[in-house]
Amino acid sequence: MSEKGEREIVRGLRDVAAAETSISYVDPKGSLYYLGYNIDDLVGNIIYAEVAYLLIHKKLPNQRELDTFNAELISEMKLPEAVIESIRATPKRCHPMDVLRTEVSRLGEYDLDANDRSKEADLKRATRIIAQVPTIVATLHRSRMDEPTPSPREDFSFAKNFLYMFKGTPPSNEETDVLHRLLILHADHGFNASTFAARVTASTNSDMYSAVTSAIGTLRGPLHGGASEKVMDMLDDIGQEEHVEEYVQGLLDNRKKVMGFGHRVYLAEDPRTKHLRGMVEKLCHRKRTMDLYRKCIKIEGIVHERKGIYPNLDFYAAVTMDALGVPKEFFTPFFTTSRVSGWVAHTMEQYEDAVLLRPSSKYVGTFGSTFVPIDKR
Ligand code: ACO
């Protein structure tokens, strides 16, 4: 409150700490930690299931725990028949994020333990949701191709199964490695908008499906996870490498945002970018699409020179997913398949905090309006 008793607003809640968390730390100077582990030490050294386990169990698994968790995830990938039918019935004009949002909500209808809100039941539920979200994404993609979705294989890791089910053929070792890295980098990121949305829903003591559904709707927006699809639109629009300068200058001169750039927290480069940039360079080299890589580097240079900002996660993630053969409308669903592990971890942490997240507002409307009955208006 100000001295006059007026509420001060913090526009966009910039720098407001809304709760404590021990799940991840976004260091503005350019580092990211999951449960105290610098992501630079995790990427390339562990698989995605280990990170999902780390986030929800708050410790890294040993080999036995990882094997059990991976098997549990694979067995939980199966969707209720009604959800499969519903996915297949969605009109092709619907964005995959619309379908994902609705079907995650529908999964809640088939949770036989819905009334058990114990920690153990929540942990089981969290594992099941982490497992089922990729199956929804894969089933939707396959059904839009008029192709069946293969069943997961017990000899594949959970992440490899996702790509297998999405593409319909077993992924190569290189593709699997890229996917593990991509999913690890997307798994959690402090109080980003979608995680905050999940926590607000959880703070009312609502169920985990509702929290994840809120988060999906929030991630979808182009200022958040929806940016990666827009990045690909931009790269497609630019066309040849020689058009980059004119295109990007045009955006900046018209005070338009360059998608995949800027960040609310980082003052330095997003620590995830270097991992993705390196992968994109290798993938483009292998696929002989180095012109695409050069286009990205050129955009990065111009935006940094003119605005002093850096690419965020979505910029190179878009090109990485494109190289994996993911259609651009499935970029944000891919992001969701990993971030869901962060959302469920934060949902459980919020249940423990047991406080309603309910800010106030500064009223700027009028008082003293005279009521007029409808027939006199
Ligand atoms: N392109 C051009 N200029 C930008 C961009 C951008 N992408 N991002 C920020 N700026 C500029 C703003 O115009 C502003 O400049 P000014 O001071 O000259 O007016 C300054 O940088 C500060 O920008 P804000 O919009 O105030 O930054 P904010 O913290 O509110 O927004 C956000 C962060 C939403 C990520 C923003 O950078 C943006 O819209 N980026 C594009 C969308 C995007 O890539 N989103 C993905 C984010 S990462 C993720 O969700 C996984």
- Label residue 2 by pLDDT band (50, 70, 90): low
pLDDT of residue 7: 78
pLDDT per residue over 50-94, tens digit each? Answer: 999 999 999 999 999 999 999 999 999 999 999 999 999 999 999
The architecture of the domain spanning 36-219+338-353 is Orthogonal Bundle (1.10)
Ligand 1 centroid to Cα of residue 331, in Å, is: 20
pTM for this entry: 0.97
- Label residue 3 by pLDDT band (50, 70, 90): low
Q: Is the CB of 309 under 6 A from ligand 1?
A: yes
pLDDT of residue 5: 65
Counting atoms of ligand 1 from 1, which one is nearest the CA of 255? 13
pLDDT of residue 349: 98
- Label residue 8 by pLDDT band (50, 70, 90): confident
> Nearest C-alpha to atom 35 of ligand 1 is from which residue?
263
285 catalytic residue (yes or no): no
pLDDT per residue over 265-317, tens digit each? Answer: 999 999 999 999 999 999 999 988 899 999 999 999 999 999 999 999 999 99
Q: Is the pLDDT of residue 231 over 80?
A: yes
Nearest by Cα to 133 from 6, 261, 219: 219
Per-residue burial over 159-187, b if 16 or more Cβ lie within 10 Å, else e, is: bbbbbbbbbeeebeeebbbbbbbbbbbbb
- Label residue 123 by pLDDT band (50, 70, 90): very high
Whole-number average pLDDT of the chain: 96
Residue 9, number of CB atoms within 10 A of its CB: 12
Give the whole-number percent of the chain exceeding pLDDT 70: 98
Q: Is the CB of 260 under 6 A from ligand 1?
A: yes
- Tell me how many degrees the CA angle 95-99-103 measures, rounded to the nearest 5: 170
Burial of 219 (C-beta count, 10 Å sphere; 0-12/13-18/19+): buried
- Label residue 148 by pLDDT band (50, 70, 90): very high
Q: Is the CB of 152 under 6 A from ligand 1?
A: no
pLDDT of residue 200: 98
Counting atoms of ligand 1 from 1, which one is nearest the CA of 270? 48
pLDDT of residue 323: 93
Instruction: Write phi, then psi, for 151 (nearest 5 degrees).
Output: -75, 150
Q: Is the CB of 262 under 6 A from ligand 1?
A: yes
Nearest by Cα to 131 from 334, 337, 343: 337
Which of the residues 263, 270, 322, 346 is marked catalytic? Answer: 263
Residue 239, number of CB atoms within 10 A of its CB: 11
Which of the residues 188, 270, 314, 322 is marked catalytic? Answer: 314
CA torsion angle 158 161 165 166 (round to 10): 70
Q: Is the CB of 223 under 6 A from ligand 1?
A: yes
314 catalytic residue (yes or no): yes
Average pLDDT for 36-49: 98
Residue 138, number of CB atoms within 10 A of its CB: 27
pLDDT per residue over 202-214, tens digit each? Answer: 999 999 999 999 9
pLDDT of residue 4: 62
- Tell me how many degrees the CA angle 184-272-122 measures, rounded to the nearest 5: 35
Domain ranges of the chain: 36-219+338-353, 227-323
Give dist(CA 350, CA 344) in Å, integer: 10
CATH topology of domain 227-323: Cytochrome p450-Terp; domain 2 (1.10.230)
